[in-house]
Chains A and B, each alone.
Chain A
Amino acid sequence: MDTKNIMIVGVGGQGSLLASKLLGYLLLNEGYDVKVSEVHGMSQRGGSVVTYVRYGSRVASPVIDEGEADFIVSFELLEAARWLPFLKPDGQVVTNIQQIDPMPVVTGAMEYPEDLVRKMRDAGAKVDAMDCVALAQEAGTVKAVNLVLLGRLSHYFDFPDEVWQKAIEACVPQKFLELNRKAFELGKKA
């Protein structure tokens, strides 16, 4: 099969590494060749961060290029918009509507763009947007935004629920398992 591409984007420190770990585990268990590419170091300090997850019968490049992403999973609204050029024309955006002001907005040099969901749709992107922070809080902690997003993403795949559950169990600390399962469910039903 052709290589499929999932981009996970957000702001450094939002916890995107767990999402890519979980997807990598799941896809490898389903028999695919998988590559996951992360960025460590300085950009993690509150900067724009991206993780690439690629799977298929044989994956060569570890990165996703412009126009290649089947999915953009975004922890923050502006970041979804920023990486939109990487989405395939028929690709799907799954995004948290949380807005975190970047420094040019904090200092007043620029405004946080308005109506980004509508603008992305007007540009031709399929956008699934939701308040993941509220759902994560409902599950027990704001830190579970990643599982809410994955729950939502699971809609677009044919994998049975137990496959996702097994991956959650393998990748999440036992102590937080129930909480994360709940966050996943809430995202899935949203």
Chain B
Amino acid sequence: MKQLMLGNKAVARGLYEAGCCFASSYPGTPSTEVTEELAKYDEVYCEWAPNEKVAMEGAFGASLAGYRSFCAMKHVGLNVAADPLYTMSYTGVNAGLVIVVADDAGMHSSQNEQDSRHHAIAAKLPMLEPSDSAEALEFTKLAYEISEKFDTPVLLKMCTRVAHSQSVVDPGERSVPVKSYEKNIAKYVMMPGNAKKRHPIVEERTRLLKEFAETSSVNRVEMGGTQLGIITSSTSYQYVTEVFGDSVSILKIGMANPLPDKLILDFASKVDRLVVVEELDPVMENHCKALGLDVQGKDILPIIGEFSQNLIAKALGAEGKKGITLNETLPMRPPVMCPGCPHRGLFYTLKKLGCTVLGDIGCYTLGAVAPLASMEMTLCMGASISALHGFNKMGGEESEKHTVCVIGDSTFMHSGMTGLANVAYNQSNSTVIILDNSITGMTGHQQNPTTGYNIKGDPAGKINLEALCRAMGYNRVAVVDPYDLKACETVIKEELQAAEPSVIISRRPCALLKYVKRKPALRVDTDKCIGCKSCMKIGCPAISIKNGKARVDETLCVGCGVCTQMCRPGALASTGKEES
């Protein structure tokens, strides 16, 4: 029966129908829901891996064992998994192996705007690119066919607008093809002698995939008016269709790599003017130029950010639409740490102590935002610890006494452990703070190796952070409650002064977790409030100043009590009303 389905859920449905048996992923917006939705099917083994490299290698092993396998990640996650990816291109697969990579043009929830198509080209792997949920389902199944027919992992490229849009799909049935494992050292042991023999196979495979791309329905021509011909893919195809309907001709590319040369040349010969409409980098455009075509692209369309129908209309000379303008400068509404967020107290303390804070990827990156504004660097998953090491090695004692790094529990398991090993091994006197909120927060609450539960919510192995740090050689491992500002201050001061590296675990579960009980909202005693604005220093969205006095929004406040520790007159108190 036809139903509305999120793009990511449609991929999960496609995986289910294609007989996928194993999925291992690390969450990352906008890819997370694929694996979450797949985990709802009992027939498929699903797990959260500590990082994308581990996930991809797990999926490779499952494919080797003869089962259709899968992993998903965001664009930057594919960098982490690039090592196995590039050599899996040489080994090929046994049972089909599909990898979702989700790009984030516009950087809704990412640290860069890289275009994953470059990875497909560099690793010499086929990449499919759906433009809506129906194609997400269909292309996922097709990806398994291509994977097994051409003996290759297949990349399925999503983007925010395809991943997080719902459109109509018509689900089908599941069938499970299983192969058996056969020992094949020449194929699966990639040492120089064997790899040298595999490389020509990869090049021949690319030639065959190109032939496939020329005739497969995954790429299609929609002839309309011939004054303008547009080569496009993914969500850009939808915008082009919206603006031009059949007044133009469209070559819709569903297979981003390898591209079909003959199809492109044939299409170009039928239209007067050729334009490539693609978000981010000019990948198809450069390909067309290499084919000797006179083509427009990034000369009229931006290389930065997302497209939309108006943007494309205006770039191509059609009329954009205009709405109602309000003659007023409105305050922006950037994302903020939630009321009751355990990170708030810790960041407040770091700011108070004047610490230099090197940060990492997660909700706590919001520690860089005013009024806390106490994080000074964020690069990629795990970089806080490794960078702190380098920073302190060069900064010496002066640096060591006021510099810390902060990293979440999930990010620490992802790629913080190796940095921590480097600090222990090469001995910088660094102070590492693990913000343990007992969940992977930013991506919407996924379990991880420190939480004790698996993707299905069942009990699982639980890594003890304190024991892990001690085993690495850290003698100083402190645990502190970030709601207790005094304790935070004492511990941070102590560890910064200590003559050896230390780890502080700031531990309190995310305030949004269902099992975390909300305390009654606080209320301001306006007789006691002197309007000093001390409570405003923690940047809690539930507190504001109205008529010179603090005011607490009872619909937002969760009663964490951090603000009460800022209030000298004692004007902030509990309302005593329990949230139902």
**What residues on A are CB-neighbors of B4 within 8 Å?**
24-25, 28, 34, 36
Closest to B533 in A: A108
With beta carbons under 8 angstroms apart, the residue of A12, A84, A113 that contacts B323 is A84
A60 touching B544, Cβ below 8 Å: no
Would you call A65 and B309 a contact (CB within 8 A)? Answer: yes
Q: Are B334 and A102 in contact (CB under 8 A)?
A: yes
Q: Which residues of A contact B33 (CB under 8 A)?
A: 40
**Contact between B323 and A87, CB atoms less than 8 A apart:** yes
Q: How far is the CA of A34 from the CA of B165 in the complex (A)?
A: 10
Contact with A along B530-552 (1 / 0, CB 8 A): 00010010011101110000000
Contact residues in A for B322 (Cβ distance below 8 Å): 66-67, 85, 89
A47 smallest CB distance to B (angstroms): 4
Interface membership of B423, Cβ < 8 A:
no
> Is A138 at the interface (CB under 8 A from chain B)?
no
- Cβ of A119 within 8 Å of any chain B Cβ, yes or no, is yes
Check A34–B544 contact: CB distance below 8 A: no
Minimum CB–CB distance from A130 to chain B (whole Å) comes to 17
A84 contacts B539, C-beta separation under 8 Å = no
- A120 to B328 alpha-carbon distance, docked (Å): 10
Chain A residue with the shortest CB-CB distance to B556: A100
Tell me the bound Cα distance from A88 to B322 in angstroms.
7
CB of A37 within 8 A of CB of B165, answer yes
A123 to B325, CA, bound (A): 7
- Out of B132, B160, B323, B336, name the residue touching A45 (CB < 8 Å): B336
Q: Does A160 contact B (CB under 8 A)?
A: no
> A43-B335, A78-B330 given as contacts; is B324 within 8 A of A89 (CB)?
yes
Could you give, for residues 1-41 of chain B, a 1 whenever the CB lies within 8 Å of some chain A CB and a 0 otherwise? 01110100000000000000000000001101100000000
B101 CB to closest chain A CB (Å) equals 16
Binds A, one of B188-196, B366-374, B481-489: B366-374
Q: Does B555 contact A (CB under 8 A)?
A: yes
Provide the A104-122 mask, 1 if CB < 8 A to any CB of B, else 0: 1111111111000001100
Interface size on A, residues (CB 8 A): 65
Q: Mark A144-165, 1 if CB is under 8 A from B, else 0.
A: 0000000000000000000000
User: Do B29 and A40 have beta carbons less than 8 Å apart?
Assistant: yes
Residues of B within 8 A of A106 (CB): 536, 539-541, 543-544
With contacts A61-B242, A65-B309, A87-B323 taken as known, whether A103 is within 8 angstroms of B333 at the C-beta atoms is: yes
Q: Which residues of A contact B108 (CB under 8 A)?
A: 39-43
Q: Return chain B residues, CB-CB under 8 Å to A44.
A: 335, 444
- Interface pair B331/A42, CB less than 8 Å apart: no
Residues of A within 8 A of B369 (CB): 103
Q: Is B308 an interface residue (CB 8 A)?
A: yes
B242 touches A60 (CB 8 A): yes
- A166: chain B residues within 8 A (beta carbon): none
What are 6 contact pairs spanning A and B, CB under 8 A?
A: A41-B443, A42-B442, A67-B310, A82-B330, A101-B553, A108-B533
**Contacts A42-B335, A44-B444 known; 5 new A-B pairs at CB < 8 A:** A36-B166, A59-B167, A62-B132, A66-B322, A141-B580
